[in-house]
Amino acid sequence: NAGVTQTPKFRVLKTGQSMTLLCAQDMNHEYMYWYRQDPGMGLRLIHYSVGEGTTAKGEVPDGYNVSRLKKQNFLLGLESAAPSQTSVYFCASSYSRGLNIQYFGAGTRLSVL
């Protein structure tokens, strides 16, 4: 029962470095999401995808890019990391927008020094 798998689980970056976070789901879900979680802020939507080959901006998209080349994978990229991007990142997927029960991965803890 893999569900939603995120890699890596932890990462430390220096300011200006780039990295890609990988999210994989094995539930054949159409919709995938990337959130960031900061203390006292709850979950904020960065980008989302309604299907293979599509992406859209969420609430806080600046400084991030995403790609959905395969239905099961959703990648989140940081081209030039900044300390403000230190956060815990969660990926989620759902079957559809109407039945939008989202299933979450375990998270990636990112520190940018």
Partner 1 sequence: GQQLNQSPQSMFIQEGEDVSMNCTSSSIFNTWLWYKQDPGEGPVLLIALYKAGELTSNGRLTAQFGITRKDSFLNISASIPSDVGIYFCAGLNYGGSQGNLIFGKGTKLSVKP
Q: Where does this chain bind partner 1 (CB under 8 A)? A: 4, 33, 40-45, 48, 56, 58-59, 90, 92, 97-98, 100-107
Nearest CB to partner 1, comparing residues 57 and 70: 57
SS in 3 state form for 73-99?
EEEEEECCCCHHHCEEEEEEEECCCCC
| Closer residue to partner 1 in complex, CB, 14/39 | 39
Query: Can you say how many angstroms the Cα of residue 102 is from the centroid of all Cα atoms in its chain?
Result: 13
Rounded least distance, CB 104 to partner 1, Å: 3
CA 14 to chain centroid = 20
